[in-house]
Amino acid sequence: MADWIAQLDVAKLLIFTLVLTRVSGLVMTAPIFGSTDVPMRIRALLAMALSVLILPSQWDTPVADPETNVQYAVVLAGELLIGLTLGLGITILFSGFQLAGQLIERMGGMMLAEVFDPASGENVPLFSRFLYLTGLAVFLLIGGHRAVMAALLDTFSALPPGSGTVPVDIADTFVILVGQSFSLGIRAAAPVVTALLLSTLVMGLISRTLPQLNILAVGFGANALITFGAVFFVLGASVWVFQQQVDPALSLLFESLEVTNPP
């Protein structure tokens, strides 16, 4: 056993740990690869498999041998941050679609209809979960997962393992992504929210002209009906808005990581 350990190439093992750390950062946080709906063992196996596939292209990468455990931990943290940047950037984009669902449910008076979300470990509005799954399906259909994988591969060319180089404008990139995500949520929910506001205005006029009518009982059912009907008719437009936002968000994220491959 000792002879087998002695034959290990420390430099190669170091490169493997750096590649695995970067890939694990993406697999832990990206909505598709890092969803908690997928068992932890499957995600760990995916990270290991991706690292093994990427490793042959990094064998000849010169990596300075860290002199202390602290230096090694710092290098690993830099690799993890690169992977987390890719995963969290995509997660922020999807949070805008979830915001749209929360706005729709709040305006429609359906906040009591919540469903347990395994991804976040808490109850979320039903429409928020529905729009999240819809956005996930659209992201897969337009090849977003392939673009993310291509960007991950290109990061090894722009930022070699162990380089310790982390883009300085990552914070500014995340601020812009949060703004784009908020704009996406508002634009996706705007048609349904407008319909519900008009419904509320009509119900208010009816309550003034017919005071004997129980407007609370009638309005709750009417808002629910209008909410489902409006979502049914404008879902295509909301998906189109999400699709149009994917390319700018990915381009901004890739540029911050100095990735030259377009989405």
Q: Which residue has the higher pLDDT, 112 or 13?
A: 13
pLDDT of residue 120 exceeding 70, the answer is: no
Which two structure tokens, joined as six digits, stand for 80? 């993890």
81 to 18, 44, 167: CA distances (angstroms) = 12, 18, 10
Residue spans per domain, the chain: 2-256
Provide the whole-model pTM: 0.74
Residue 143's pLDDT band (boundaries 50, 70, 90)?
A: confident
- How much is the average pLDDT of 171-181? 82
Whole-number pLDDT of residue 2: 45
Note the pLDDT of residue 43.
81
Specify the higher pLDDT residue, 179 or 205.
179
Percent of the chain surpassing pLDDT 70:
77
* Statement: residue 39 has pLDDT above 80: no
Please list the residues that pair with 124 across neighbouring strands. 115
225 phi and psi angles, rounded to 5 deg: -65, -45
Beta-carbon contacts of residue 122 (< 8 Å; ≥ 6 apart): 116
Cα atoms found within 13 Å of the Cα of residue 40, Cβ hemisphere only: 0
Chain centre to alpha carbon of residue 124: 16
Which band of pLDDT confidence, cut at 50, 70 and 90, is reported for residue 212? low
Residue 263 pLDDT level (bands cut at 50, 70, 90): very low
